[in-house]
Amino acid sequence: MVSFIEERPKNIAAGQNMVSDPKSAQKPPAPPGFISISRKKLLQNLEINAGARVNSWVDSMRASSPTHMKSAPSIADDQGSWNLNHPSALDMFEQIIDASKGKQIVMFLDYDGTLSPIVADPDRAFMSKKMRKTVRKLAKCFPTAIVSGRCRDKVYNFVKLAELYYAGSHGMDIKGPEKGSKSNKDTESVLFQPASEFLPMIDEVYKQLVETTKSTPGAKVENNKFCLSVHFRCVDEKKWSELAQQVKSVLKDYPKLRLTQGRKVLEIRPTIKWDKGKALEFLLESLGFANCTDVFPVYIGDDRTDEDAFKILRDRGQGFGILVSKFPKDTNASYSLQEPDEVSSELL
C-alpha cells in the first residue's frame, strides 16, 4: 500500500479547542476566524486506496491555502502572536551573532522559496545576481550546502557555484565541492546516493505520470532523479481531485514509493528513511563536525520538507532553523524571515 506519510504532529484549530497533547497546549490558540489544518490529518485524508479521502484532502487543501485564510484582523493578530515564538532573524541578528561566537558556523540553504522566489514555472526559478553574490561570499567564510527537493544537477545549474555542497532529491543525492575549488583543495569530493536502486522504478513512474496527468491543464511532472514532483500550482482547484486520482492510479502498483506533500506540489519518493534532516547529519559528519560541541549549524528553508532539518537542529541543541514564510505555520524553526529578499539581507 502506498500512503501519504507524515510523522510530525501538528496543531488543529478551527475556532474551537482541540488540543490533545502538552506541547500543543504551550502554544497560543488560533484567533477566531483563523483556520490551521493539522498536516498529519491532511495527509491521512489522502490515503492512497481510499477514494473518498481524496475529496477530503482537496477540502483540506482549500482550507489551508493562504488564499483561503484571509479573515482580516485575525490574521494580523495571529501573525503577531506567532512572531513572539518565531521572531524575525533580521531583528535578532545581534543575538544570533553572539550565540555563534567561538563556534564553527555551517550553513544549509533550501533553494525554491529561499534563495529564489516561488514561480509558476519551476524551470524558471532563477536566483538573482545579488543572491548568487551573497551565497558566494558566504561560502568563502563557512562551509555551505544547498539542500533541495530538486534534482542536484538542476539546482547546480541554477546556482552555478562550484564551491558549495549540493544535496538534491531531498538529500538523496549529495555531492561536495568540485576538486580543486577553494572548499576542496585536498580531499576527494563527497558523493552519496542512498536510493540508487530506485532509479529504474522512478523513471518508469515518471513516464506514466506524464502520460496520465497530461489531460489536467496546468499539471507539471518534474523528474528530480531520486524523486518526482507533481506541481499543481497552476491547476484549477476544481481539477485537484482529478489530479490526485490520476497520481493514485499510477502509484497503486508501486508500494516501494511513498507520497508526501510540499507547497502546491506532490512528492513521490522511495520508502527509505532519508530526508533533509538525515542529509544535514550526513554533511556534518562528512565535514568532521558530527560530534563537535562547538559547531553551529544554521538551516534556512521555506517548505514542510525542511522541518526534518529544523527538528534535527532542535534535538541536537546546536544552531537553529529559520523558516521563510509570510504566513504563520507550525514549525521547529527558531526564527523566521518573510521572503528571499530578507534571506539575502540576513546573509549579507
Cell 553551529, residue located: 296
Extract the C-alpha cell encoding 243: 489530479
Residues 228 and 266: their CA atoms lie apart, in Å, by: 8
Residues 258 and 270: their CA atoms lie apart, in Å, by: 6
Residues 228 and 218: their CA atoms lie apart, in Å, by: 16
77 has catalytic annotation = no
Residues 234 and 220: their CA atoms lie apart, in Å, by: 9
Q: How far is CA 201 from the centre of its chain?
A: 24
For residue 268, the SS3 value is strand
Are 130 and 99 in contact by the 8 Å Cβ rule? The answer is no
Selecting among 21, 77, 91, 110, the annotated active-site residue is 110
Residues 106 and 91: their CA atoms lie apart, in Å, by: 21
| Residues ≥6 apart with Cβ < 8 Å to 208 | 250
Cell 568563502, residue located: 140
Q: Which residues are catalytic?
A: 110
